[in-house]
Amino acid sequence: MNISPIVVSLRTAAISIFITFFLGIFLAYLVMKIKKEKVRAVIDALLTLPLVLPPTVVGFILLYIFGTGRPIGAFFLEFFRVKIVFSWGATVLAAVVMSFPLMYRSARGAFQAIDENLIYSAQTLGISQSRIFWRVILPSAREGVISGGVLAFARALGEFGATAMIAGNIDGRTRTLPLAIYSAVMAGNMEEASKYVILILLLSVVIIIYINRLPYLESFGLKRRKK
């Protein structure tokens, strides 16, 4: 079995979750602080959009934005000598975009579930907003945030459609586990495809077991079971 898709997938998922984790927390907190409900609703919809769009549509949009013939893609190529499309970086970009909504929604749901009296008490003590976030809000929401991170990691690991559109299916560079399964099936190599499928199933089971050991996500309308 060729291990390069495993290495590419794990590298992609590891880098993408590092970006998604902190970006999701930051934007969830910022959106929660917006006072105007209509503005908050519009921003929230835009940040959640990749969750409901078909992955191939997201991939097409990314390809349209970062293609070498487009302004942003041409800018990176001319000034940084970086070609985004059909590179390993494109696999990370696709994974971040597709997994971000899960991290964002989970973090926002966890923040909204915090008892506001804790925040008000900290404010009356004269604690700065940044310290309130790090000492009160984030610790109180840590279980929901961790759950969101695990879900986002799993989503990045299983990303297929957007990755195929913007990164391609280049063996040893952009071929992730889902793309390796597709390639093996198309080549009639069912034995190799089965090995990749078993590996992904095992990883998925481990992730599900870990999530089940954490409190259920408020953002999905579920509550922790009472003992």
Give per-10-residue mean pLDDT for the chain (227 aa): 89 95 94 89 94 94 90 86 90 96 93 85 83 87 89 92 93 93 93 92 85 55 43
The per-residue DSSP string of the chain comes to: ---HHHHHHHHHHHHHHHHHHHHHHHHHHHHHH---HHHHHHHHHHHHHHHHS-HHHHHHHHHHHHSTTSHHHHHHHHHS----TTSHHHHHHHHHHHHHHHHHHHHHHHHHTS-HHHHHHHHHTT--HHHHIIIIIHHHTHHHHHHHHHHHHHHHHT--HHHHHHT---TTTT--HHHHHHHHHHTT-HHHHHHHHHHHHHHHHHHHHHHHTSPPPGGGT--PPP-
Give the global pTM. 0.86
Domain ranges, ordered by start, for the chain:
4-220
CATH dotted code for 4-220: 1.10.3720.10
Question: Can you give the pLDDT at residue 217?
Answer: 43
